[in-house]
Amino acid sequence: MYPKQLDELCESWARWVHRGGLAVSGQSVLSKLIDNHGVMNYGSGSGGPALNCVEADIEAALMALYAVNPAAVELFRLEYGAIKRLGFDPEKPQFDKAHSLGISVRTYKRRLGLVRSHITEKLTKSRAKHVTTQSIHVSQSSPAPASTSQENRAQSRRGSKAPRA
């Protein structure tokens, strides 16, 4: 996954959070699934968030990492504006954001990179089932043949010389 693609997904996740994607009243997405015995009504007018989307997968990856590294997950949520903190402006440069958190820029970037790589790994695993065999064959196809312009130049050089008698 390319960094720009991941950024777009994370921004979409942050919008999902603001639309109510996170469970209300302190209830997690996983606990909602448990409460409903694994049966969710998608689009039945319940007003709840869709739980079978990439944004929910990102949230699940964050919850899993939170148990190991809560500081990195909080920094990620702040970076994308999913949560707010007094004195932290997600629009400012990383230097200012790191300063407002009382950490170095290097620590800021390291924590952010850790979360991004964790999300990439989890999304790759969770979305692997959607990869079709056709896309696998395309990615494993043989390299393209040599360009025809090179072949034409070679033939024109050969054709321009008169054969010796």
Per-residue pLDDT at 23: 42
Confidence band for 37, pLDDT divided at 50, 70 and 90: low
Residue 99's nearest CA partner among 111, 71, 107 is 107
pLDDT, tens digit, for every residue of 114-133? 999 999 998 888 777 655 43
Q: Average pLDDT, stretch 125-144?
A: 50
| Of 38, 10, 34, the residue nearest 113 (C-alpha) | 10
pLDDT of residue 33 exceeding 50: yes
Average pLDDT over the chain, rounded to an integer:
74
Per-residue pLDDT at 2 exceeds 60: yes
Return the domain boundaries, the chain: 3-130
What pLDDT score was predicted for residue 38? Answer: 65
- Which tokens sit at 71? 């500081």
Q: Which residues contact 47 (CB under 8 A, 6 or more apart)?
A: 20
- Residue closest to 65 by CA, chosen among 123, 20, 18, 106: 123
Segment 5-28, tens digit of pLDDT: 888 888 888 888 888 765 443 455
Check if the beta carbon of residue 120 is closer than 8 Å to that of residue 10: no
Q: What is the pLDDT of residue 90?
A: 86
* Helices H / strands E in the chain, number of each: 8, 0
Percent of the chain, pLDDT > 70? 58
Q: Report pLDDT digits (tens) over 67-96.
A: 999 999 999 999 998 888 888 888 999 999
Sign of CA dihedral 132, 133, 135, 140: positive
Per-residue confidence (pLDDT) for residue 52, from 0 to 100:
62
Give the per-residue pLDDT at 135: 44
Confidence bin at 142 (pLDDT 50/70/90): very low
Per-residue pLDDT averaged across 151-160, rounded? 52
Residue labelled with tokens 């949520």:
77
